Amino acid sequence: MAKSVFSNVQAGLPIAVFQLTIDYKADTSPLKVNLGVGAYRTDDGVPWVLPVVRQVEEQMAADRSLDHEYLPISGLQDFTSGAVRMILGDDSPAIVQNRALGFQALSGTGAIRLGADFIHKHLNGNVAYVPVPTWPNHYGIFQKAVQYKEVRTYRYWRAESRDLDFEGMAEDIKAAPEGAVIILHACAHNPTGVDLTTDQWKKIAEIVQERKLLPFFDCAYIGFATGDVEKDSWAVRYFVSKGIEFFAAQSFSKSFGLYNERVGNLAVVMNNADYKNRIKSQLELIARAMWSNPPNHGARIVGTVLNNPALYKQWQGHIKEMSSRVFSMREMLYQHLKSLGTPGTWNHIVDQIGMFTFTGLGPKQVQGLRNRHHIYCLSTGRINMCALTTKNVEHVAKAIHDVVTTITED
């Protein structure tokens, strides 16, 4: 055997979005702006722990009756039931008829992974569809980790007009084989910020039913996108109303600002309550071999808020505040670009929704942003709107103007 067991291990490529932050931290320029990782920032450019979260944490710390015992494999009951009610609505027929299952997971990633594994193992899932573009970890999970036979794409972002290619999307999904998993971003599409209209969702639901496809909603921004939970979960609830069975991976990272506590829920909607226990028991077996049982702290915080009307109201105020700030930054950036006369169309900045904007900048222009202006963003041209502030938005606008007018992508 070779001298070391690992002598043949190659260096892996760093994960782009995290590498960006590493590079940004190393930059000493006072003008630097990190438009990379998706985390909310205040207008002072700093992280924000939601006041209701702090409040609940203090309550928890003072409560001597709380301990650190193992949660059940499926997680904290109060949390998972609250999470399911949040996404489907309190009076959802799926909930009333006991056809909705909630299973705690390690944030959105963990929920997607759990669902992907379950579908692969128990529903013969081997073909998954993702939009172009999508969150890269969708590939990591379905293709590399769980090893579905095929991860196919459906058209989504139309670069020329910087909007949704709905006809392409519908056509591609219509061509999917029966049983294919269709990953759908419930709202605030990552990375483009371009969402479907309600009419377009209706069409997709129709196709899903016609073609007997299995929808898997990625719900990382419910409440964060518009500040209104009901609005942001419209698509998911509509699918319930049509009797469609599906999976939904819920992340509470952004909506509760609990990024590092890894709070997530996998919601499964079925058309017969009899399946619930079976599905749960199989999810337990998968989760047991991954992490045994999920972390307590963050779920306890969210569970407390979701089940307390006064705290819930407070939280609604916070998501309104966050989403409003994002909207105003979109508006500001757009206005600056307009007044600078930056060539191209920029209304997509205000039309898009959620944390991110797909600027339409190319990799060379992105490089120029970094090299000339110390502005860091992904080479896809995705920028985190939360990182814009009233203090830096002009600098960013001017930088965009500069690279657009002086650097061409070929």
Partner 1 sequence: MALSCAGNILKDNMMRCVPVASRASSWWSGVEMGPPDAILGVTEAFKKDSNPQKMNLGVGAYRSDEGKPFVLPSVRKAEEIMMAANHDKEYLPITGLADFTKAAAALAFGENSEAISNKLNITSQAISGTGALRVGANFLQRYFPGNNQVFLPTPSWGNHTPIFTHAGLKLGAYRYYDKNTCGFDKAGCLEDISKIPEGSVILLHACAHNPTGVDPKPEDWKELSQLVKSKKLFPFFDMAYQGFASGDIDRDAQAVRQFLKDGHQIMLAQSFSKNMGLYGERAGAFTIVCESEEEMKRVESQVKITIRPLYSNPPIHGARIAATILNTPDLRTQWLGDVKFMADRIINMRKMLADNLKKEGSTHDWSHVTDQIGMFCFTGLTPEQVERITKEFSVYLTKDGRISVAGISSANNSYLAHAIHQVTK
- Please give the residues from 321 up to 380 whose contact with partner 1 meets the rule CB under 8 A: none
CA-based R_g, the chain, Å: 22
3-class DSSP state for residue 353? coil
Q: Is 338 a catalytic site residue? A: no
ω into residue 133 within 30 of 0, thus cis? yes
Give the contact letters, 200-219, x = binds to partner 1 (CB under 8 A), - = no: ------x--xx-x-x-----
Q: Which stretch binds partner 1 (CB under 8 A): 225-233, 236-244, 361-369, 388-396?
A: 236-244
Non-local (6+) Cβ contacts of 18 within 8 A are 37
Q: Which stretch binds partner 1 (CB under 8 A): 40-48, 159-167, 335-343, 391-399?
A: 40-48
Footprint of partner 1 on 271-300 (CB under 8 A): 271-275, 277-279, 281-282, 284-286, 288-298
Footprint of partner 1 on 42-81 (CB under 8 A): 46-49, 53-54, 57-58, 61, 67-71, 73
What gap in Å lies between CA 217 and CA 135, rounded to an integer?
A: 13
* Residue 14 binding partner 1, by CB under 8 A: yes
* Residue of 250, 300, 286, 253 lying closest to 74 (CA atoms): 286
Footprint of partner 1 on 164-203 (CB under 8 A): 178-179
Q: What single letter denotes the amino acid at residue 213?
A: L
Q: 106: burial class by Cβ within 10 Å (0-12, 13-18, 19+)?
A: buried
* Residue 97 binding partner 1, by CB under 8 A: yes
Characterize 62-90 residue by residue with b for buried, 16 or more Cβ atoms within 10 angstroms of its Cβ, and e for exposed. Answer: eeeeeeeeebebbbbeebbbbbbbbbbbe
Q: Is 254 a catalytic site residue? A: yes
Q: Is 218 a catalytic site residue? A: yes
Longest dimension (CA), the chain: 67
Give the contact letters, 237-266, x = binds to partner 1 (CB under 8 A), - = no: ---x-xxxx-------x---xxxxxx----
Least CB distance from residue 94 to partner 1, whole Å?
A: 7
Please, which residue, 157 or 252, has the CB nearer to partner 1? 252
Q: What single letter denotes the amino acid at residue 317?
A: G
Q: Which stretch binds partner 1 (CB under 8 A): 106-114, 164-172, 328-336, 353-361?
A: 106-114
Least CB distance from residue 296 to partner 1, whole Å?
A: 4
Q: Which residues are catalytic?
A: 135, 218, 254
